[in-house]
Chains A and B, each alone.
Chain A
Amino acid sequence: MLSNLLPLGTRDEFGRRAATKQQLIAVIQAHFKQRGLAPIATPLLENQAVFDPYQMGNYQLYRLLDTEGQTLVLRPDMTLPIARFLSATKVPLPQKFGYVGDIFRVSRRLSGSYNQITQAGVELVGYASLKAELECLAIANQLSAELIDDAVEIELGSAPFAQQVVASLTTDSEQQTAIKTALFNKQIPQYTALIAAYQDQPIYPFLQQWPRLFGQPKQIFQRLAQAPLPETVTKWIDELKTVVTWMQTTMPDQAVSIDLSSQAPQKYYTGLTFRGFSQAGAGYLFSGGRYDQLLANFQTKSEPAVGMGLDVDLLTELALNTTVTTPKQVIYFNPDQWTQAEQVLATQPQATLSLAADRAGAIIEAQQLGAALIDLTEGTSDAN
């Protein structure tokens, strides 16, 4: 086997893509710093047990054995390691964290997916108030505008909503799970067959329409008002109404929608959820929500928390599609012109110093980069 082959699902990043991604990360980190989020970095390797609450979907974990035979994994998620960190260190709460790092998920072989994904995110831990969700939404709104040109739609959901509705239909937990699975995956033939058992109940017309319960908030709230839903969902609908009203007041240009027919981004979410997408993107740009029970996986006491992750690779793809690159310049100079070269470098948005030993070398360098040559040696004796 050749020694210079990459493992499946990985890639090198260089040139324009790497520069764009680093630029986005710099903007995200500056935004986090400006909002007073504490930076946090956890190891790439964790004990497998850390991710017991994680829903892998169609992905698998990269697993390794340590010297004592314990199973370690390359982290597939950033939130659970932070929960593990908080539990282990007893850092006083509340805390606001911001992070950027890589996660690893083994996708289906030869599917064109990458297994190493860069994610940025926010974790607001120890906050029970809705203000934590609102700060995440404010960050999502502001970062979307800073990072990409496309309009981003924020879609709100409620993790407990579906469970509360199916629990009002039947106490059979297998039946509840079957209905939710068919609903969330919009497997309409199976879903239709499953809800047929409730066609004599007043809620049946709602069940029939439930897979399409997403769209503009006004329409969704109207449809909810007409449905004979259990009392238990009222608080979640009221919460959605509060957040929509706040968004329409605080960020009137932000497109917002509601989806009560989809699964929460992770099974550990316990309250409001949110995701963002643009018309051009092939996936969700960010997703998050409230997860008040997550720390209970590591300690007896649970802590309220809200988190959000941004897909930096997808943001990079979108930025690459829209970013217009300015012409590059290569600055060629004699060693005694270093100060002058630095001054020119500081005034050019995308220039680099030529380190070629002579002018001929600088010309080749500029040609390879597709850049214009700024020759500071003109009229002087050339350096050799």
Chain B
Amino acid sequence: MPTKRLKIALTKGRVEKQVLPLLEQAGIDCDLVRHKQRRLIFDSETQPYEFILAKGPDVTTFLERGAADIGIVGSDILVEHQSTQYELLDLGIGECQFVLASTQDFDPKAPRRKIIGTKYPLITKRYFDRLGQDVEIIKIEGSVELAPLTGLADAIVDITETGTTIRENHLQIYDYLQPVSTRLVVNRLALKQQANAIYDLVDRLADVVNANAKKEVMPS
């Protein structure tokens, strides 16, 4: 039986830029994606992989519905969208951190029901549930830092890589939640249908990730 080509849904933007060098180090020709112009789907007869570029939340939807075999997406999105697919590899890139941040006058211990702005209502709810606090959550799609500055919310839960954007907006970090990084995720049934091809890719990428990690530990 001819083997199906593996369909890889890649989060476009920053994840895409960081992942392409890893894929190339693993011996995968990403030339089509590098010269994508406005295309979003890249298929070549000579390659065992077909690439799709999509937004992170859509990558999880493609995976859940079996429209993609493999997804490359941030762990923030996997948690928030309650992905039920297999998370086989931490690619060690896109590393950042969920934080609770607000203006300097914010008092996390103030005895009142706080209003929290976030792009991640599920992660926020779980965090405050763990603290035993009932909060009002406002879903915000972008520029979350605006929420405490405009009085829309008392604080925000958001991800930050270096904290620069938070500081530049005169906010400060009050707590650190879970870390975030880019993950390779596989559709449950695809792993059964194409185990060898998928594990071949995963193992090659794992070797690259481990080699890069060693380089970081031992700079020449």
Contacts and interface: CB of A to CB of B under 8 A. Distances in A.
A194 to B, nearest CB: 14
B1 interface: yes
A209 to B, nearest CB: 12
The residue among B189, B191, B192, B195 with the most chain A CB atoms within 10 A of its own CB is B192
Nearest to A215: B195
A53 interface: no
Interface in B158-205: 183, 186, 189, 191-193, 195, 199
A108 interface: yes
Contacts of A283: 66, 189
A153 B194 CA distance: 13
B4 interface: yes
A277 B90 contact: no
Nearest to B184: A188
Nearest to B75: A189
Interface string B134-160: 000000000000000000000000000
17 contacts: A57-B84, A108-B81, A111-B65, A112-B61, A112-B65, A113-B64, A186-B86, A186-B186, A187-B86, A188-B87, A188-B90, A212-B199, A277-B193, A279-B4, A282-B66, A282-B189, A283-B189
Contact of B87 (A57, A185, A282): A185
Nearest to A262: B188
Interface in B54-100: 61, 64-66, 81-82, 84, 86-90
Contact of A58 (B4, B84, B90, B199): B84
A58 B82 contact: yes
A187 to B, nearest CB: 5
Given A277-B193, A284-B189, A188 B61 contact: no
A36 interface: no
Q: Is the interface of A mostly helix, strand, loop or mixed?
A: loop
Interface string A38-59: 0000000000000000000110
A268 interface: no
A155 interface: yes
A24 to B, nearest CB: 20
Contacts of A108: 64, 81-82
Contacts of B183: 189
A189 B87 contact: yes
A214 interface: yes
Contacts of A277: 189, 192-193
A88 to B, nearest CB: 34
* Interface residue tally on B, bucketed by range: 20 to 34
B84 A214 contact: no
Contact of A186 (B82, B88, B90, B189): B88
Nearest to B1: A279
B139 to A, nearest CB: 14
Contact of A188 (B64, B81, B89): B89
B199 A185 contact: no
Interface of B: 1, 4, 61, 64-66, 81-82, 84, 86-90, 183, 186, 189, 191-193, 195, 199
Given A58-B84, A186-B88, A188-B87, A214 B65 contact: no
A186 B191 CA distance: 11
B100 to A, nearest CB: 23
What 9 pairs across the A-B complex have the smallest Cβ distances?
A282-B66, A186-B86, A189-B90, A187-B87, A188-B88, A112-B65, A58-B84, A279-B193, A58-B82
A151 B65 CA distance: 21
Contacts of A284: 189
Contacts of B90: 188-189
Given A214-B192, A214-B195, 17 more contacts: A108-B64, A108-B81, A112-B65, A151-B1, A155-B192, A185-B84, A185-B87, A186-B87, A186-B191, A187-B86, A188-B87, A188-B89, A189-B87, A259-B192, A279-B1, A279-B193, A284-B189
B84 A282 contact: no
A205 interface: no
Nearest to B88: A188
A281 B183 CA distance: 25
Interface string A18-45: 0000000000000000000000000000
B40 to A, nearest CB: 18
